[in-house]
Every structure is written in C-alpha cells, then in structure tokens.
Amino acid sequence: MVKRSNSKIVDLIGFPMDLGADRRGVDMGPSALRIAGLTEKLETLGYKIIDEGDISIEIREKQSIKNPKLKYLEEILKTSKLLAQKVERSLTQNHFPLCIGGDHSMGIGTIAGISSFCRKNKLELGVIWIDAHADMNTDKTTPSGNIHGMPLAASLGLGNKKLVDFYGFSPKVKPENCVLIGVRSIDEFEKRNIKQLNLSVYTMADVDKLGIHRIIARVLKQFQEKVDHIHVSFDLDSVDPTLAPGVGTPVPGGLSFRESHLLMESIAECGCMSSLEVTEVNPILDDKNKSAVFAAELVASSMGQRIL
C-alpha cells in the first residue's frame, strides 16, 4: 500500500538541462516556472518551500559530442548524479522533492534517487509518466542521439550500460509498476521496446475512448494495491500545444485544459504522490510565459488546489 509522506515541506530542485535535446531554451525552464509563481502558489496551499536553486550544468558550447548516438552523455551522467543525490536526501529528510527542468533526461537522475531511497527502505516504486512521447529509445534505436528520448527505457533497464547501471543498480523501476499516459508520438523501435516489457500505455486515443478520469482512477487503484511510493513525471508536451506552445517537441492533439487539471487533481485526491518532476518548459518558444504559468497551475492542482 502507498505510504505517502504527509510532509508539507517541499524541496524545489532546479535542473536546467538542455543537453538531452536539440532545441535550445529548455535550460531556462526552471527560471520560467519560478517567474510563473510556482513557489507562491504552493505556499498559498500551506506548503513550506525550500528552493535549493539550480544544479550547475556545463553549457554545450564548452563541450564536444563523443558519441552521436549518446550526445553529451558524460555531462548528463555527472549532473544526473548530483540530482539523484539531492532527491534521495530530500526523501530521507521526509520532504517532498519537486524537480523542475530542463529536458526530460532529468528523469534519469530523479528516478535513480527515488529508487535508491525506496530500495534502502524496502518500498516499492511506481512511476506515472505523462508525456506525448514514450522516451523508450536506446542508443541502438534512437534516430537523433538525444538522451531526453531515453530516460524511461534506461530506468526500466534497457539501453546503454552507462545509463542503465547509473547510480549503481538496475532496473530503477519494474515495468509492471510503470504507466505512460498521453502518448501520441512513438518511434517504431520504441514500440518494440514497449511490447518487449509489456508496459501499460494509455495513448491519446485511449484518452478519447475512455476519458482521462477513468484512466487515472484505474492507474491509481492499481498502484495503491502494488506500490508504496508514487512518482509523477510530467512532461509539458503531454498538453496540447495550443495551451502550452513553449515546449521543446510539441505534438498536436494533446491533453486539453480540463483533462490536464482533472488528471492532476485526481492524483492529489488520491493523496499518494510522494515526488514530482516537471520537464520540457521552453520559454524561448513560448508566448509571454503562458506555458510555464499553465505548468505551475498544474503542479498546484496535483498538490491540492481546487476550484471550490
């Protein structure tokens, strides 16, 4: 059963990573979310926010690509280790880690830190991955070499040994304890990886057929019976680009305003989320920071903000 911490102390951890993607600007995501009033929204809900600032990441202009199938691997691994340590320390202190990015390669570090904490405390980890993309590529299947397309595969034990064995163990999460929601852009080889692991995937077609409330209710019921710690990894590109244009890889046909909020409100009502990350906010591609404002509102919904 889920043993969610009732801690009202949130550790805000910025991870301004843009090495996992080709498009620039996502490294300013943490700043955009802060400017959007993320801290103030959560303080209004009664949380104490400890802003730990941003992890320092070397800009790509000072680096070279050693392997075009794993671009900037060494810097991503180095900084992901710092992120994993921060997240694990936060959980050890009975705080709630809220990680803000940055491209989705940050999931390598967040999930490693959470999984390490769970292993040491004999807790079962469950991951809800909300994303337009599956992020299930490996160095053998990637069409781009961008590591932000690999974090879930690596966390599940697929891919390059350095990514898979990162932080000293593998897999970080069991396939049966991982669910993808909102997916609508999957590479052909990713489909094979998904089928190989028999992952639970709710595409946007499933959202259309079943409704987002039925899907998240089913997932949360399943998880409450099987896992102790639920981590939510929310990629803003899961939302339709008309609502959130400021993302690195927008895909039409995403979650609507109300679907997004209902999804996060349902997670809050469950009272079972123990960690959260928000990724792929790109203010360079945005319109007056509207995407970051929307993302901040979604975080607030996931942590208890209600209409009435």
Reported as a single tens digit per residue, the pLDDT across 134-179 is 999 999 999 999 999 999 999 999 999 999 999 999 999 999 999 9
Please tell me the predicted confidence (pLDDT) of residue 216.
98
Percent of the chain surpassing pLDDT 90: 95
- Alpha-carbon distance of 50 to 202, in angstroms, equals 34
Longest dimension (CA), the chain: 53
Strand partners, 125: 229
Q: Please report which confidence band the pLDDT of residue 307 belongs to, taking 50, 70 and 90 as the band edges.
A: confident
What does the pLDDT average to over 86-98?
97
Burial (CB count <10 Å: 0-12, 13-18, 19+), residue 200: middle
What does the pLDDT average to over 91-97?
97
Name the packing angle between helices 212-226 and 257-270 (round to 10°): 20
Strand partners, 130: 181, 234
Q: Based on the residue annotation, tell me whether 95 is a catalytic residue of this protein.
A: no
Q: Based on the residue annotation, tell me whether 135 is a catalytic residue of this protein.
A: yes
User: What is the tens place of the pLDDT at every residue in 3-34?
Assistant: 555 679 999 999 999 999 999 999 999 999 99
Q: Based on the residue annotation, tell me whether 131 is a catalytic residue of this protein.
A: yes
Catalytic residue among 54, 139, 280, 297: 280
What does the pLDDT average to over 97-102?
98
Would you say 85 and 139 are in contact if contact means Cβ atoms under 8 Å apart?
Answer: no
Query: Cis link prior to 171 (omega < 30° from 0)?
Result: yes
Q: Based on the residue annotation, tell me whether 75 is a catalytic residue of this protein.
A: no
Q: Which residues of 98-136 are buried (b: 16+ CB within 10 A; e: fewer)?
A: bbbbbbbbbbbbbbbbbbbbbeeeebbbbbbbbbbbbbb
Query: Cis link prior to 102 (omega < 30° from 0)?
Result: yes
- Mean pLDDT estimate for the chain: 96
Residue-range domain boundaries for the chain = 9-302
Q: Based on the residue annotation, tell me whether 104 is a catalytic residue of this protein.
A: yes
Q: Please report which confidence band the pLDDT of residue 129 belongs to, taking 50, 70 and 90 as the band edges.
A: very high
Catalytic residue among 11, 18, 103, 133: 133
225: its two tokens: 């019976």
Q: What is the pTM of this model?
A: 0.97
Q: Based on the residue annotation, tell me whether 280 is a catalytic residue of this protein.
A: yes
pLDDT at 219 over 90: yes
Q: Based on the residue annotation, tell me whether 235 is a catalytic residue of this protein.
A: yes
Burial (CB count <10 Å: 0-12, 13-18, 19+), residue 230: buried
What does the pLDDT average to over 281-293?
97
- Alpha-carbon distance of 163 to 195, in angstroms, equals 21
Tell me, which fold does domain 9-302 have in CATH?
A: Arginase; Chain A (3.40.800)
Please tell me the predicted confidence (pLDDT) of residue 1.
55
Would you say 65 and 138 are in contact if contact means Cβ atoms under 8 Å apart?
Answer: no
Q: Please report which confidence band the pLDDT of residue 217 belongs to, taking 50, 70 and 90 as the band edges.
A: very high
- Alpha-carbon distance of 153 to 134, in angstroms, equals 9
Catalytic residue among 88, 235, 240, 286: 235
Outline where DSSP puts E strands in the chain. Answer: 9-15, 48-54, 96-101, 125-130, 178-183, 200-203, 229-235, 273-279
Catalytic residue among 88, 190, 228, 237: 237
Catalytic residue among 104, 229, 231, 261: 104
